[in-house]
Amino acid sequence: MSGADGTSDTHQADSGAGGGILSGIRVLDCSIAMAGPFAAQRLGDLGADVIKVEPPAGEWQRHAPAGGAAGNEINVSFLSLNRNKRSIALDLKSDDGREVLRELVATSDVFLQNYRPGVAARLGVDYETLRAINPSIVYVSVSGYGEDGPYKMRPGQDLLLQAMSGAMLSTGRDGEPPQAAGQYLVDAITASTAFEGVLAALFHRERTGEGQLVTVNMLDAITTLQMQELSVFTAGGVPQQRSAEPHAHVYIRSPYGSFATSDGFIVLAMPDLEELGRTIGEDSFIGLHTLDDSWRLRDEVFAKTAARLATNTSAHWLDAFSKTSIWAGPVYGYADLVADPQIAHNGTFVEYEHPTEGLVKTPGFPYKFSKTPARIDRGAPLTGEHTREILGELGHAAAHIAELAERGAIAVRDTLTNVQEHLDGAVLADGAVLPGGSDAALPGEGAPESVAAGAPGPAPAHAEAAGERS
């Protein structure tokens, strides 16, 4: 692939990705909030050079509180979803900003956005426009309900999709309000779906040379996740019906779910009724047929199990179940999870130093590769931290970068390290050295951030991408 300055694969040497499995792949991440950024982060973890395109003031999600935890400059939600990315701050409502983006498109492999339907076209970054610049581009569009149709403008927010998908009506007691998952489940599933779509499209391009449009929506992602449950209804004809007891799954035999003990909670999953009866001292289970009676008598079996388990501690019951074939386990809080020896053994959590937030500990990588392991090459970027660097790779001279900043088309921010590198006479990608040597002033130097005046960048995609955090 050729860059705007005519050189070949200029991004490969500057990605900092080393030998990652996606090293040499450049991704333009124009998404915000969770689903899109999470997908892009996964690509960055595997070595792709992910460039986060932000408005001059930074992505909205940088500044919104996350679960009561506020950072120094960046909230923890943004930190957790934007590692292994570089940030370029562009005003896509300006001609200069759009021109820079088109230059980047010409050097990129993947373009990812979760704009509201119609926004991409208004900004001139829709698939047809970008394909004309780079026919091999893999263009990924994430939406709440689909690119068109009667619901296309509805807010694609996680809770709304959990409810609409039918997933929530499988939780809780019959007659009581359904309960949502305690995670942004639909966002996470949508992110994984987009990640899979990118990889499949890149594999297709590897074989054919063709780029393509990949569309992902939250409604389809959470619906198809329920493959088994929905098929029991659509193919098996068995209606969805919650129990009087808080059974964890409408189509699984009892007991199945969480149970209070004398000092906490444990979970049980589909035990043999006679073995369960002997273990917990419930004689009425002896002689029952597990596959038939555990379904026919779901509420009765659940209630009797709950009454027995409440008489002793979690440790007592887990020890007792460990000596049987019964599937049982503890109910962890986050503190328990982080301290768990298997989690430590797996290296599930990773840590890195951030220039404004200090030591960041966050979940790491869900996959392992023997030859091309995922790794952290950079933490979540500051707004515009890499604007100067990326424009240099495109062949822009230092003076022109300063002009773009002055006109408000871009915003730049230099970390202390980057500033020192420049002051030491670092050579830019166009071969020019900053004029004036170590005494030269840098755009934005002397202030925390050079934020250009003017209209903000891309509008939030939809409510999924703009407001699910509370």
What gap in Å lies between CA 102 and CA 129, rounded to an integer?
Answer: 10
Q: What is the total residue count of the chain?
A: 470
* CA pseudo-torsion sign 89, 92, 98, 102: positive
Instruction: Assess whether the previous peptide bond of 381 is cis (omega < 30° from 0).
Output: no
Query: Of 46, 92, 29, 26, which Cα lies nearest the Cα of 374?
Result: 46
**402, 385 Cβ separation under 8 angstroms:** no
Question: 266 - beta bridge partners?
Answer: 259, 330
Out of 174, 187, 283, 414, pick the active-site residue.
187
For residue 377, indicate whether it is catalytic.
no
Strands (DSSP E) contained in 55-114 are 85-90, 110-113
In which order are the strands placed within the sheet that holds 49-54?
Answer: 212-217, 138-143, 110-113, 26-30, 49-54, 85-90, 410-411
118: left (phi over 0), alpha (psi -120 to 50) or beta: left
Residue 226, Cβ neighbours under 10 Å: how many? Answer: 15
**Do residues 266 and 331 lie in contact, with contact meaning Cβ atoms separated by under 8 Å?**
yes
User: Could you tell me the two tokens for 407?
Assistant: 């006109």
Residues β-bridged to residue 50: 27, 85
| 49's tokens | 């050079």
Are residues 428 and 86 in contact, defined by beta-carbon separation less than 8 angstroms? no
3-state secondary structure at position 174: coil
Q: Which helix (H) or strand (E) holds 94?
A: none
Residue 401: CA count within 13 A, CB half-sphere: 31
Phi and psi torsions of 217, nearest 5°: -130, 150
Percent helix, strand and coil across the chain, each to the nearest 5: 40, 15, 45
- Which residues are tagged catalytic? 187
